[in-house]
Amino acid sequence: MDGFSGEKKRVVVIGGGVAGSLVAKTLQDHADVFLIDSKEYFELPWAGLRARVEPSFAKRIVINHLEYLSRARVIASPATNITENEVLTAQGRLIAYDYLVVATGHTSSGGYTKDERLNYYQTEHEKIKSAKSILIVGGGPTGVELAGEIVVDFPDKKVTLVHKGPRLLEFIGEKAGKKALDWLTSKKVEVILGQSVNLESASDGTYETSGGETIIADCHFLCAGNPVGSSWLKETILKDCLDDHGRLKVDATLRVKGHGNIFAIGDITDVPELKQGYLAQAHAMLTAKNLKKLIRGENSRKLSTYKPASDVAIVSLGRREGIAQFMCLTVGGRLPGIMKSKDLFVGKTRNSLGLKSNVA
């Protein structure tokens, strides 16, 4: 069993993404903190699309956990089980906890080490750079933003985007989807709606859509949403706390319902709001605040509560433009671009972890 001196309360955080990294960073001076993650690094997921067209950008968004966790223990191994007072990892290590934070978000694929992830982005860049024609499958925020990054940095590429839904950006309003469509078509992106692509049947750069159309492309990118990272919880003490979508049911203090010392934050929760990075960060800060109160021995009735956020979303379109939706208001053009597209909130996020905005 792993441990510090045992003088402080022990907080175990499972998941080193946007939410888990921030709560671990915030608590490392107040408790014995263990971060359990399947990889050695933290990554800003929304900025990975920029790293595909500009691989040097990846050096700012892929951060080894030890770069910001100087006083915490990092265990680079997936968690496989949770009991009433311990977490078991795939390496067979048992980590005891006084308080537990589950922040496993959505599943992702990538290298185990920082170098492996940086090499991945370099390979993706070469893939785009060498292609004359590119197929993007999926018209959600990832597909739209990737198309925007490619056509702005490589305007000579032929980009085709296929989306099975009736409009782009279905997670927000129709006006946003229309603005995205108009912007992409103005950049000569061919957008095909209401159809899917069977990627497994593709042959020699030839793809067929469900509507019988043929697309010729040198490479493709599948931009579909990843599943919630909760399947492993079905064999743990939290198995009955999952809703029908695989999300953990939490109360207003972000504690898992029925468990006074276990919190859940970020995309894995059933909080009724859009699943976005800045909201995961808000979960992390409120949970860190509540854990500090509990560590000090304050009554649990004094814990702060979380209010689900209104629908606000910003979709980047290349380096200077974007689309923003603030409840009923939809804005496109340079203003959303100034807010997000130039830096993709990378400097702000690095600063929140105590790191410099840029890397040498």
Query: What is the residue extent of each domain of the chain?
Result: 10-38+77-108+226-306, 114-225+312-348
Whole-model pTM: value is: 0.95
Confidence of residue 203 (pLDDT cuts 50, 70, 90): very high
CATH 3.50.50.100 fits 114-225+312-348, yes or no: yes
Confidence at residue 201, expressed as pLDDT on a 0 to 100 scale: 86
Q: Do domains 10-38+77-108+226-306 and 114-225+312-348 have the same CATH topology?
A: yes
* Res 110: pLDDT: 79
- pLDDT confidence of 177, banded at 50, 70, 90? very high
What is the average per-residue pLDDT within 154-178?
A: 97
Mean pLDDT along residues 271-280: 96
Residue 4 predicted with pLDDT over 80: no
pLDDT band at residue 340 under the 50/70/90 scheme: very high
- pLDDT, tens digit, 9 for 90 and up, residues 320-338: 999 999 988 999 999 999 9
Residue 82 has pLDDT above 70, yes or no: yes
Judged by average pLDDT, the poorest of 5-9, 16-20, 57-61, 353-357 is 5-9
- CATH homologous superfamily of 10-38+77-108+226-306 equals FAD/NAD(P)-binding domain (3.50.50.60)
Three-state helix/strand/coil letters over the chain: CCCCCCCCCEEEEECCCHHHHHHHHHHCCCCEEEEEECCCEEECHHHHHHHHHCHHHHHHHEEEHHHCCCCCEEEECCEEEECCCEEEECCCCEEECCEEEECCCECCCCCCCHHHHHHHHHHHHHHHHHCCEEEEECCCHHHHHHHHHHHHHCCCCEEEEEECCCCCCCCCCHHHHHHHHHHHHHCCCEEEECCCECHHHCECCEEEECCCCEEECCEEEECCCCCECCHHHHHCCCHHHECCCCCECECCCCEECCCCCEEECHHHECCCCCCCHHHHHHHHHHHHHHHHHHHCCCCHHHCCCCCCCCCEEEEEECCCEEEEEECCEEEEEHHHHHHHHCCCCHHHHHHHCCCCCCCC
Q: Rounded mean pLDDT of the chain? A: 95
Q: What are phi and psi of 29, to 5 degrees?
A: -95, -5
Q: pLDDT for 123-157, tens place per residue?
A: 999 999 999 999 999 999 999 999 999 999 999 99
Res 6: pLDDT: 60
